[in-house]
Chain A
Amino acid sequence: MTTQIQAPTQTPTPATPAPARTPSAPAAARAVRPIPTTRLVGVELRKMFDTRAGFWLMASVGIVAVLATAAVIIWAPDEAITQNTFSTAIGMPLSIVLPIIAILSVTSEYSQRTGLTTYTLVPWRGRVMTAKVVATLLVGVAAMFVALAVGALGNVVGSAITGLDATWDITLTQFGNIVLANVLGMLMGSMLGVLFRSSAGAIVGYFVYSLVLPVAFGTLAAFQEWFRDLQPWVDVNFAVTRLYDQTMTAEYWQQLGVSTLVWLWIPLALGLRAVLRAEVK
C-alpha cells in the first residue's frame, strides 16, 4: 500500500535537477517569520564585542579583575587578605567600566549612525532598546561572576602565600547586593545613552554623574546641617554605594528607591520616549 502511494509522487521528479534560479530573482511569496527577541539580544551582544573598542572594553573587565587581584596580593597586609578585600578592589574599577559598556551600546547607533540600518531592519525601537538593556545586563552579571571567580582565586593564592586560612567573608546576600549595585550602574549608563544619544555627551554626563555629583552632595552635607538627613534620599551614589558595604535596612531600601526614581527611572523613561520619537538621521 505504502509503496503504491509513494510511487506516483516520485515519478514526476526529473532525474537531473532543474536549473536553479539565480539568487538575484526575488523569491515568490514565502513565509516570513517574525524576529524573535532572543535573536535581537544575540545581535546586540555581538555588536558589543565586534569592534576593537568594544572588544578591549570587554577584555578590560577581565584585565581589571586580574590586575586588582594581583595588587591586593602584592600590597595588602596579611590580615587584609580576605574575599571582601578582593571583591572591593575588583569592584571599584569594574563599576566604572560597566556603565561605559552600557552607554556605548546605545550611543554608537547614533554616533556611528548604524541606527539607520538597525532601525530599518527592526523598525520597533522599543524592542531594540529592550534587547540592548537585556544584553547589557547579561554582560554585567557575567562580569560579576568573572570578578567573583578571579577574586576567589586571588583569595586562595593570597592565603597560600601568607600561610593563613582563607577568609570567605562574602555572603550570598552581599554578592546579590553587589550585583544589584552594578546592574543599577549599568542602567544609569543606558539611561545616559538614551538621553544624550551621543557617545561623547553621554560619557561626559556619566562622569558628572559619578564624580561631580557625589562630591557636590558630600560637600553640601558636610557644611549644611539641614541637608545631612536629606542626602540619602537625593544622592543616588550615596544610596547605591551602601549596597557594597552595609547591611541594607528597610529605610536604606526606601532611600535607594526614591533616589533612583529621580536619578534613574524617570530620566530613563524620558530618554526611551525620546528614542521612540526622535527622527533617525
Chain B
Amino acid sequence: MISVEHLTKQYGRFTAVDNVSFTAATGRVTGFLGPNGAGKSTTMRIMVGLTRPSSGQVTITGRDYRELVNPGLEVGVLLDASAQHAGRTGREILAIAAQTMGLPRVRVAETLARVGLTEEEAERRVRNYSLGMRQRLGIATALIGDPQVLVLDEPANGLDPAGIRWMRDLLRGFADDGGTVLLSSHLLHEIEVIADDLVVIGQGRIVAQGSKAELLAAAGTLVRTTDVDRLARALHEAAVVTTPIDGGLRADADPELVGETAHRAGIALRELRAADGAGLEEMFLELTAETAREGAAA
C-alpha cells in the first residue's frame, strides 16, 4: 500500500504539488491521471526519495522509502524509460540492477523473457531501442526484484495497442496476486482499461478520486431522443442536472431514474445507457480544463 499524506512541493513561488493526499490500495491498480505538468511525476519522484517534499510525507507499506534496506526488492520503480545509458545493452542494464539488489544472474534472462524482449534485442545497445522497447526494459528493471509495490510513471507511453494490452494483463495479474500498482498517465483511455481506482490531478491538486466504478457512476447517464428539449425540461423538473451533448443529454442521475422520467413524460428514447468512458472523459476534460495548458483554447 502506498499512502500519500498532505504532500506539497514548492519551487520558489511555484507550487508543483499542492496538499496531495491519496492511497494506492493493496491488490488494486491505481491510475494517477492528469494533464502534462499537473504534478504526477513530481509526486512520484518524492515517493522514491529523488525529490524532497516541502511538506507532507509518503509511506510505502507503512515505511518511508529511505527506510527500506534494499528498495529494489520491495518497490519496483519506472520513472522515465529514456533515462537509461544509451551505450549499455539492455541485458547489461538489467544485470546492473540485479547485481545491485543481490539477485542471481538467471533472473536477468527470466525477466527479459517476462517483458517480451528477445535475446537478440537484449544484446543491442539502448540507443538503438524504440520507446516501446525502452518501456519494456524499464518495466523489467522494476519487476526483476519481485517487489510487492510498483510505481510506474507513464509506462504505456510508446507501447503499441498490443503492448498496452500486455501491460494491462501483467499489472492485473500483479495486483490480483496481492501487489500494489500505481501508474500515471495523461491519457484517459490508457488508464481506463488498466486501473481499478483513479486519482485525478490538475495543477498540483487532486480534483477527483475514487474507484473507476464510482467515478463512472458520477459521470451519469447518456440519453438520446428526438425531443431533447422536452426531455431536458422533464429531467429539470425531476431535479436532475443535464448537459446537452451531440443528439442527446448527459444527465447526472442513474439510467433508471432517467428512463422513468422519460416514461412518465411520454418521451420515446433512442438510447439510454451509463455514460461510461464518454462521461469520464468529459469529467476529465472538465476537471482539468481550467488547469490544463489547452484551457484557454478549449
Contacts and interface: CB of A to CB of B under 8 A. Distances in A.
A32 B73 contact: yes
Nearest to A29: B148
B43 to A, nearest CB: 13
A43 B174 contact: no
Interface of B: 45, 48-52, 65-66, 68-74, 77, 79-80, 82-88, 92-93, 96-97, 99-102, 110, 114, 141, 146-148, 170, 173-174, 177-179
A34 B80 CA distance: 26
17 contacts: A23-B146, A25-B178, A32-B68, A46-B99, A50-B96, A51-B88, A113-B80, A114-B83, A115-B83, A116-B83, A118-B100, A119-B50, A120-B77, A121-B100, A121-B101, A123-B49, A280-B45
Interface residues of A, number: 39
Contacts, number: 113
B45 A39 contact: no
A117 B85 CA distance: 10
A130 to B, nearest CB: 15
Nearest to A21: B177
A172 to B, nearest CB: 36
Contact of B100 (A33, A39, A51): A39
Contact of A121 (B71, B83, B148): B71
Pick the most buried of A32, A33, A122, A277: most chain B CB atoms within 10 A of its CB. Answer: A32
A32 B73 CA distance: 7
Interface string A111-138: 0111111111111100000000000000
A40 B96 CA distance: 10
Contacts of A18: none
Interface string A22-38: 11111100001111000
A181 B72 CA distance: 38
A32 B74 CA distance: 8
B92 A50 contact: yes
A47 interface: yes
Contacts of A23: 110, 114, 146
A123 B49 CA distance: 7
A46 B92 CA distance: 10
A28 B175 CA distance: 13
A199 B269 CA distance: 67
A207 B289 CA distance: 51
A33 B174 CA distance: 23
A32 B69 contact: yes
B93 to A, nearest CB: 8
A12 to B, nearest CB: 26
Interface string A125-168: 00000000000000000000000000000000000000000000
